[in-house]
Amino acid sequence: MLCKVYKVPMSAPDDISGVKKLLTKGEFKAEDIVAFIGKTEGNGCVNDFTRGFTTFTLQTLMSETLGISREEVAKKVAFVMSGGCEGIMSPHVTVFVKEEKETKVIKKKKRLSIGVCHTRNFLPEELGTIVQTKEVAKGVIKAIKQAKIDNFDDVHFVQIKCPLLTNERIMEAKKRNKIVVTTDTYKSMGYSRGASALGVALALREIDKDKLNNDVICKEWNLYSKVASASAGIELLNCEIIVLGNSKEAEGDLIIGHSMMKDSIDSEAVVKALKNVGINSEEELLRVVNVFAKAEADPTGNVRNRRNTMLTDSDFNHTRHARAVVNAVISSIIGDPMNYVSGGAEHQGPAGGGPIAIIARVNRN
């Protein structure tokens, strides 16, 4: 198989002209697209409808191009839109293409591989619970097998789009005498992200299954995945899973590596992630295709023993602060503000930190 990745700028949530241009030029075929991961310019909160708007626009393009319904497209392709482009973060969408082809090469270096899986729809009372965790774990295993990755150490980033609770969904559960994990729709985003992230940890055996239950979700911060990234949204009821790793069965000139930021200003982790894809100098930064990272306000309200107001700012949500800070740190090193930085890192890396992954072209020298 051959995997390709394209980072496409967007001038608005419905601007897919760049994707259309690549299709017209024949850079790839629509039927080979397996996933889109985008940063849209809404607020990233419950009422961020730019995520759904971009998803609808891309699904419509795929529907018209492939001659199938949007519903069929949604089952075939993963659409992960993360809202919030605070600070200097530039809106964009990353297109993931996977061409299935036979190769006669027996031994070669591992290259980027992609696996995609959709879970079943969740009931409102299942969101943010161990039920969601277990279903995500099953999906991650399926995606890893699809990507033909034979070693968990070769999995470098698992991106998940997960649902959240709305007032309507909460009321529907109450009518059936079911209890939801929270009646705060915004907090439900964190519970859904956290349950999803623990599903990745369970699948990759980062955490023993006996340590996971409803009581630890969004409470026991020492339990986390080093490669999970989850983004919650109102626009779906299931989880869409994208596994990114390196496989000996994959061809092409792309690889992926990762590191883990211990806090929001951990620039050393960015440098380490670059080194993990073979980039050791400023001149080599042109080989970077895109950077994917999680960001969050440390639950202690401090960064390196200095108090901040991210968690107490009633005017500006803490996830928005975090995205701006982390993207600025990454941009200052990469030299490009167009990165994928998603807010809310519950169980996604250590408290206050998060995973950072880089897709890059290999050095042909």
pLDDT at residue 107 in the model: 53
Give me the pLDDT at residue 141, please.
98
Q: What domains are there in the chain, each with its CATH number?
A: 1-102 (3.30.1330.170), 103-252 (3.30.1330.180), 254-361 (3.30.1330.160)
Helix, strand, coil percent values for the chain (each to nearest 5):
35, 25, 40
Which parts of the chain register pLDDT below 70?
A: 102-107, 365
Beta-sheet pairing, 78-83 with 2-9: unpaired
**Whole-number pLDDT of residue 358:** 98
218 phi and psi, to 5 degrees?
60, 30
Please state, as a whole number, how many other Cβ atoms lie within 10 Å of the Cβ of residue 364: 6
* Nearest residue to 229 (alpha-carbon basis) of 298, 158, 296, 295: 158
pLDDT of residue 183: 97
Per-residue confidence (pLDDT) for residue 239, from 0 to 100: 98
Encoded tokens for 288:
């970077």
Q: Give the pLDDT score at 363.
A: 82
Helix (H) / strand (E) element for 268: namely helix 267-276
Q: Which residues are catalytic?
A: 161, 231
- 222-235 burial, b for 16+ CB within 10 Å, e for fewer? ebbbbbbbbbbbbb
List alpha helices for 96-255, DSSP H.
130-146, 167-175, 185-203
**Residue 298: per-residue pLDDT:** 96
Predicted local confidence at residue 104, as pLDDT: 59
pLDDT for the residue numbered 103: 61
The angle, 0 to 180 degrees and rounded to 10, between the axes of the packed helices 318-334 and 267-276 is 50
